[in-house]
Chains A and B, each alone.
Chain A
Amino acid sequence: MTHPLEPRLAAYLAGKMPHAEDLAVDQLSRISGGASRETYRFRLIWRERGEPRERRLILRRDPPASLIETERRIEFEAYRAFRNTPVPVPEMLYLEEESDALDHPFFIAEEISGYQAGPGTLWTEPYLGCHARLGRRKWEILGEISKADPQALGMTAVLPAGAPEDCWRRELDHWEGVLDADQTEPLPIVRAAIRWLRANPPPPPARLSVVHGDYRTGNFLYDTEGGVHGILDWEMCHLGDPLEDLGWSFNPVWSFGRELVGGLLPRDEAIAAWEAASGLKADPGALRWWELMGCVKGQAIWISSGKAWIDGGNREPIMVYPPWALQNAQDRAILKVMGRL
């Protein structure tokens, strides 16, 4: 059966590919997950100078109400900036910021097929033997992101570059503001964490880096040998303290109940891999600050997701899952990082 989006997508792509004949879209199917963007895979087929052509592509479309409100152009440009660098990313093809073609803004990218992204499969065969190697690769690539020059990548053209000494305050103000706007009940644990963060700010970073914003197990494509083939979900990308990504990647909710960061590596090995690749040092006190900041950010996202469901903007079950499955775990993560658990 034809998905209703297929002919509309074909019409859009035909406008972008005037050389293509008999262009059609088929096999469009939604990929599960993606509470902040609707993600679909599809096949594009066309003829070019009489020859049949085919390409597997990804459509990322804004939903009616999102778990995270972000600029799709920033995500698109972040992928483009890291193309052909040591940071593996899929090729970006088209960005559409208007809603005429498919009701909401979207972008289209190549599909990197043949690999897994979901963390669930990591804890089953044939992936059980690859964790240490995958973990080292994960934090090496994060080190490459931290090392990259934002100006040379062109990211300063699309992202505001504030003063390094304000990095911590910008993030804390933003996510506290999200909690202020979206909480529907008192949150004594996360509010205690916020008070501690304000009373104990970290030193400024040596320099501003590109911050992926959601660098965690589950947001990269991996294989059975521990290889990483694509860093995904750049929608919260910004410029900031490189320790922010490292702290977020250490958020205990991403440990999946294992005593390893990201469920993959001992903490000191992950730090060593990141330091070796980035050429930076992870100050323990500053890293702890950013770990706790990551817990506050996580809680803000889970709370926001529930609020979007309550307000009726998005009634999909994926909006309920984060507050039900992760809100209490995030509180426990805060207690753990603060040495209270």
Chain B
Amino acid sequence: MTPKVPEVIAEIAGLIGRSLVPGGDPAEVGANLGLSAALLGLAAQRIDGMAQALVEENRAVRALLARGAELFGDDGWAVLSRGADENFRISALERTNAELRGALLALHERVEQAVEESARALEAAIWDELRASTERRLVIGSPV
């Protein structure tokens, strides 16, 4: 989640503290507290499963990069595909996830330009993973 959850919660804590000081516009204070409650609700939905989802996603993307490395002979993708998550702090998993998804984006672009039958199969697998990535991030009340 971007902005990062700990930073947002810290900001909300400060906002709640400021809201206790008399003299604020009640409508503005109410709106900010309402939005803060909604944000806390969104964080609550995601936080317990976030590390698991990131580990699962990183593993899935590494598998796709391995296929891309084999198809196109790309050493960079091969190196990334052999990695493993060892630091399970969400911030560390998110950093790795960003690196892997950046490589996946490049692989997707490369696959679209390739004509081989195996490239079509890999392209379909990439779309499957992108769809799965939105399922991992789904929250109750999502409009889509």
Q: How far is the CA of A30 from the CA of B25 in the complex (A)?
A: 7
Q: Is the CB of A328 within 8 A of B11?
A: no
Secondary structure at chain A's binding surface: helix, strand, loop or mixed?
helix
Q: Is the CB of B27 within 8 A of A32?
A: yes
Q: Is A16 an interface residue (CB 8 A)?
A: no
Q: How far is the CA of A253 from the CA of B144 in the complex (A)?
A: 6
Q: Is the CB of A257 within 8 A of B143?
A: yes
Asked, given contacts A325-B38, A332-B142, whether A186 binds B105 with beta carbons under 8 Å apart, the answer is: yes
Q: Is B3 an interface residue (CB 8 A)?
A: yes
Q: Mark A27-46, 1 if CB is under 8 A from B, else 0.
A: 01111110000000000000
Q: How far is the CA of A67 from the CA of B127 in the complex (A)?
A: 30
Q: Is the CB of A325 within 8 A of B144?
A: no
Q: How far is the CA of A31 from the CA of B130 in the complex (A)?
A: 38
Interfacial chain B residues near A315, Cβ < 8 Å: 11
Cβ of B93 to closest chain A Cβ, rounded Å: 13
Q: Is the CB of A188 within 8 A of B101?
A: yes
Interface residues on B, range: 35 or more
Q: Is the CB of B3 within 8 A of A256?
A: no
Which residues, 288 to 341 on A, are CB-close (under 8 Å) to B? 306, 309-310, 315-318, 320-321, 323-333, 335-336, 340-341
Contact of B27 among A31, A255, A306 (CB under 8 A): A31
Q: Is B79 an interface residue (CB 8 A)?
A: no
Q: Is the CB of A323 within 8 A of B2?
A: yes
Q: Is A195 an interface residue (CB 8 A)?
A: yes
Interface stretch among B65-73, B80-88, B114-122, B133-141?
B133-141
Interfacial chain A residues near B143, Cβ < 8 Å: 252-257, 326, 329
Asked, given contacts A309-B3, A340-B127, whether A1 binds B23 with beta carbons under 8 Å apart, the answer is: yes
Q: Is B42 an interface residue (CB 8 A)?
A: yes
Q: How far is the CA of A126 from the CA of B110 in the complex (A)?
A: 53
Q: Is the CB of B134 within 8 A of A30?
A: no
Q: Is A185 an interface residue (CB 8 A)?
A: yes
Interfacial chain B residues near A333, Cβ < 8 Å: 144
Q: Is A189 an interface residue (CB 8 A)?
A: yes
Q: Is A53 an interface residue (CB 8 A)?
A: no
A328 closest partner in B (C-beta): B137
Interfacial chain A residues near B20, Cβ < 8 Å: none
Q: Is the CB of B112 within 8 A of A195?
A: yes
Contact of A255 among B30, B36, B130, B144 (CB under 8 A): B144
Which residues, 8 to 40 on A, are CB-close (under 8 Å) to B? 28-33
Which residues, 236 to 287 on A, are CB-close (under 8 Å) to B? 252-257
Cβ of A197 to closest chain B Cβ, rounded Å: 13
A323 closest partner in B (C-beta): B2
Secondary structure at chain B's binding surface: helix, strand, loop or mixed?
helix
Asked, given contacts A252-B144, A325-B42, whether A184 binds B31 with beta carbons under 8 Å apart, the answer is: no
Q: How far is the CA of A330 from the CA of B142 in the complex (A)?
A: 10
Q: How far is the CA of A47 from the CA of B85 in the complex (A)?
A: 72
Interfacial chain A residues near B141, Cβ < 8 Å: 257, 325
Interfacial chain B residues near A192, Cβ < 8 Å: 105, 108, 130
Interfacial chain A residues near B25, Cβ < 8 Å: 3, 28-30
Interfacial chain B residues near A30, Cβ < 8 Å: 25, 27-28, 31
Q: Is the CB of B2 within 8 A of A184?
A: yes
Q: How far is the CA of A329 from the CA of B2 in the complex (A)?
A: 14
Q: Mark A182-214, 1 if CB is under 8 A from B, else 0.
A: 001111110110010000000000000000000
Cβ of A332 to closest chain B Cβ, rounded Å: 4
B94 closest partner in A (C-beta): A185
Q: Is B35 an interface residue (CB 8 A)?
A: yes
B36 closest partner in A (C-beta): A317
Q: Is the CB of A325 within 8 A of B34?
A: no
Residues of A within 8 A of B (CB): 1, 3, 28-33, 184-189, 191-192, 195, 252-257, 306, 309-310, 315-318, 320-321, 323-333, 335-336, 340-341
Closest 6 CB pairs of A and B: A32-B31, A317-B35, A186-B102, A332-B144, A328-B137, A188-B105
